[in-house]
Copies of this chain bind each other. A is one copy, B any other.
Amino acid sequence: MNIFKIPVLTNSKIAENTFLMKCHSPELAADMKPGQFCNIKVSESDYPLLRRPFSICDAEGNNIYFMFDVHGEGTRLLSRKKQGDLIDLIAPLGNGFGIDDDYDTAVLIAGGIGAAPFPYLTRILKGSKKIVTYIGGRSSELVLKYGLENFSTATDDGSEGFQGNVVQLFESKFEMLKSSDIKVFACGPNPMLRAVKNFCSERGINCEVSVECAMACGFGICQGCPIEKSEVDGSYLLVCKDGPVFNINDIVI
């Protein structure tokens, strides 16, 4: 964990509201694990005040990638970054996905910009595990396929693939997967994660989710990012330090 200033190589629009930013950092490309994140200072001034957390989307050679949706002021500023601009970030943060357990097939479930951490996860798992990916979005233009493999898609409006949400798609395909040999990795909005959790915990499926929440520091000093533990013991977990990836059995979403 350190502060880095790394140059932007490219920053391009890859979907209606989504950018892919490639930055040069041999050190972070080597050090970061899928599911970890960076806390990025989006401007040179003191405004906006807080850093913005983004998952590492991919790492290849000396470069790392971020995939982000333009949401408010911070991501708007980030979308303006150009080749050569320096990005000030704190990284690596968080725990990352647990990838080495005993399973044959990794099932990746992505809702909207929840796809962001999966290209890197795909790259790392490729070769050692079979990968099945389900990608959901509100409509065809919002389905983010960048860097993903062996995927099926779901859209709320039926404009592409399965009509419905991505968890329903996963459920509809579930019989084709052997539940004992799979591990589910999910990232997306909380209602989606809740549905994944319900489905998987009922069936005892090994499942990790990457959680988002408001953060100030991103490295454990502000206590701003608590998440309720499943086991009630008078304390919270911190999303930034104990997460952002949690086993669904450990937390209440």
Interface set of A (CB-CB < 8 Å, partner B): 45, 47-48, 73
Q: Please give, as numbers and ranges, the residues of chain B lying within 8 Å of A73 by CB-CB distance.
A: 45
A89 to chain B minimum Cβ distance, whole angstroms, is 21
Q: Please give, as numbers and ranges, the residues of chain B lying within 8 Å of A47 by CB-CB distance.
A: 45, 47-48
Complex Cα distance A81/B37, Å?
32
Q: Please give, as numbers and ranges, the residues of chain B lying within 8 Å of A48 by CB-CB distance.
A: 47
Q: Please give, as numbers and ranges, the residues of chain B lying within 8 Å of A45 by CB-CB distance.
A: 47, 73
- Tell me whether chain A's interface is mostly helix, strand or loop, or mixed: loop
A150 to chain B minimum Cβ distance, whole angstroms, is 42
Q: How many copies of this chain does one complex carry? A: 2
A46 to chain B minimum Cβ distance, whole angstroms, is 9
A48 to chain B minimum Cβ distance, whole angstroms, is 8
Complex Cα distance A73/B73, Å?
18
Complex Cα distance A19/B73, Å?
27
4 A-B residue pairs with Cβ-Cβ distance under 8 Å, sorted by A, are A45-B47, A45-B73, A47-B47, A47-B48
Beta-carbon nearest neighbor of A77 in chain B: B45
Closest 4 CB pairs of A and B: A47-B47, A45-B73, A45-B47, A47-B48
Beta-carbon nearest neighbor of A47 in chain B: B47
Complex Cα distance A73/B45, Å?
8
Complex Cα distance A48/B47, Å?
9
A67 to chain B minimum Cβ distance, whole angstroms, is 24
Complex Cα distance A73/B48, Å?
14
A177 to chain B minimum Cβ distance, whole angstroms, is 47
A83 to chain B minimum Cβ distance, whole angstroms, is 14
Complex Cα distance A200/B73, Å?
52
Complex Cα distance A9/B48, Å?
29
A18 to chain B minimum Cβ distance, whole angstroms, is 21
A245 to chain B minimum Cβ distance, whole angstroms, is 33
A120 to chain B minimum Cβ distance, whole angstroms, is 32
A238 to chain B minimum Cβ distance, whole angstroms, is 29
A17 to chain B minimum Cβ distance, whole angstroms, is 18
